[in-house]
Amino acid sequence: MKPTRLLVATLLLTASAAAQGQALTIYNQNFAVVRDQVALDLQQGQNDVQFVGVTTQLEPDSVVLRDPSGKVALAVLEQNYRADTISQGLLLQRYEGQEIDFVVTDRDGSERTVRGRIVRSGYVPAFAANRNQGGEAPIVEVGGKLRFSLPGQPLFPALTDDAILQPTLHWRLFADAAARLDAEVSYVTAGLSWQASYNLIAPEQGDVMDIVGWVTIDNQSGKAFPEATIKLMAGDVNKIQPEGGPRSGGDDMFLGGMRRAAAPEVTEKAFDEFHLYSLPLPTTLHDRQQKQVEFVRAIGVKTQTLYIYNGADTGPYRGWNMETIRNQPDYGTQSNPKVWVMREFLNTEANGLGIPLPKGRTRFYRRDDADGRLEFTGENLIDHTPKDERVRIYTGDAFDVVGERKRTDYGLSNNQHQLEEAFEIRVRNQKDTAIEVRIAERLYRWLNWRVIQKSHDFVQTDAQNIEFRVQVPPGGETVVTYRVRYDWQ
């Protein structure tokens, strides 16, 4: 039987996609899975089908074309992907070595036509431009002389049948029998990404905060998605990168008294080893657009401000191994005066949260009681945080709290394979209120250690770290001393 050729019109495909709706699953690693529908009217035998309007960064070998009902078996004999949409640069490339007309506008506004031969177009395809491979100036020969620019507006012959205006997939399909169906096409594409961000708002005094979380969706794929159903995948999904390729309920006044209205909300569920967030309503995502969607609003989250002093400045010794550290007496004896300010809260339902938080930027604000305005007080990043876990974020260094650390004794006995070291740590508080400071000390000389003298009790936080939690009075100072013994026999 003679093969029947079928060309699906652009208008039909666009109408079908708009009626059925497109679906996107966007990953926070600059790629997405796109699912669309294409209406197929297949004749028995071979069929040539064009699907117009895919992205400019599609991965061709990721394309899957199938009948979602499972009734029609589709055999793809051949697939071609073309993203070289018609542009002035592309047409200049097509006519390299040939002469075309250029329209020149003179100073008096009159126009005239000159003939020129395109020696070099300077055109760079889209995929090369994405890899930062810049083009060169065009070269045009006019009247026997070379110009490193266009002499005027180029006039090209009419488009040929193989010219395309949008990125296009061309399939050669084989069907055992004639069939009509709405097939599903899905593919992986670069150029789509999302990230989370959080605004944490507190009164001038106190640690009860309101948290508003946003997701920002960025579409740089070269294609618009009208009324698309969008999901966001959170987690570190393994993706091979191409070579060269590239986060008490009564205090409503913090947010102006606004509680979340009874509107559709972003939903979340565990999916494999990751978390999937679904936007509640279809939305239009234009090309070159950034869209923000609120996905969490928590009122009255109880937080805690922590002051942490890690006074050992290892300076140029950072990165040394333990054997070298053990034999370097001066390691860790330089004092760092800065006291870190950390904000900590529990990501639990009882604390107004209790949902997996995707990694993203956190911004902290406090409301000035004098005028009610919000003032920015710091920012940082959080990693993917499961529910019921503790979140601790560094927001800056304390202005009115300083530390001082010095070594008071050091003794190494090679015969006994033993080392003793003693330290004195001072923390001064120039605030009007008392604070707790956590003095973090890393016992970096060796794995086998024992604190044999101490002025204050400590908490062992892991195999080589201890923490003294001390009260520092307003306008006062607290001094902590300890002696540690290392053994490596």
pLDDT tens digits along 461-482: 999 999 999 999 999 999 999 9
pLDDT of residue 266: 67
482 and 386 in one domain? yes
Q: Alpha helix (H) ranges present in 21-161? A: 88-94, 126-129
Residue 271 is predicted with a pLDDT of 63
Same domain, 27 and 135: no
Report how far residue 388's alpha carbon sits from residue 390's, in angstroms, rounded to the nearest whole number.
7
Token pair recorded at residue 73: 């078996």
pLDDT at 17: 39
Rounded CA gap, 256 and 237, in Å?
38
Whole-number Å distance between alpha carbons of 72 and 174? 11
What is the per-residue pLDDT for 349?
Answer: 93
Look at residue 416 and tell me if it is in a domain.
yes
Q: Are residues 314 and 452 in the same domain?
A: yes
* Cα 207 → chain centroid: 29
Same domain, 115 and 145: yes
Q: Name the residue among 440, 450, 433, 444 with its Cα closest to residue 486.
A: 450
Q: Does some domain include residue 476?
A: yes
Q: Let me know whether 27 and 95 are in one domain.
A: no
Q: Is residue 222 part of a domain?
A: no
CA distance 183 to 194: 28
- The Cα 230–Cα 284 span in angstroms is 10
Residue-level pLDDT at 261: 43
Say if 255 falls within a structural domain: no
Q: In this predicted structure, what is the pLDDT of residue 13? A: 32
Over the chain (489 residues), the average pLDDT of each successive run of 10 is: 32 35 86 92 91 89 90 88 77 87 90 91 65 69 90 83 76 91 92 93 88 93 90 73 44 38 58 75 90 90 94 79 84 92 93 90 90 89 90 92 96 83 97 96 93 97 95 97 92
Residue 339 resides in a domain: yes
Quote the domain boundaries for residue 42: 10-84+164-189
In a shared domain, residues 337 and 483: yes
CA distance between the termini of the chain: 88
pLDDT at position 239, please?
63
- Contact between 204 and 251 (Cβ < 8 Å): no
Does residue 415 share a domain with residue 340?
yes
Q: Which among 210, 358, 368 is positioned nearest to 274, based on CA atoms?
A: 358
Statement to judge: residues 183 and 133 lie in one domain: no
> For position 109, what pLDDT does the model report?
87
Of 155, 175, 201, at which residue does a domain stop? 155
Contact 53, 219 (CB under 8 A): no
Whichever domain contains 22, its CATH number is: 2.60.40
Tokens 């070298």: give the residue: 324
pLDDT at 243: 54
**31 closest CA partner among 5, 67, 57:** 57
Sign of CA dihedral 290, 296, 299, 304: negative
Do 423 and 462 have their domain in common?
A: yes
pLDDT of residue 325: 85
Same domain as 370, residue 326: yes
Residue 271 lies in a domain: no
Q: Return the SS3 of 255.
A: helix
Number of domains in the chain: 3
358 lies in the same domain as 417: yes
Is residue 237, in this structure, part of any structural domain at all?
no
pLDDT at 12: 32
Whether 239 is in a domain gets the answer no
User: Which domain-ending residue is among 174, 189, 204?
Assistant: 189
| 169 plus 108 within the same structural domain | no
Residue 255: its pLDDT value, please?
Answer: 41
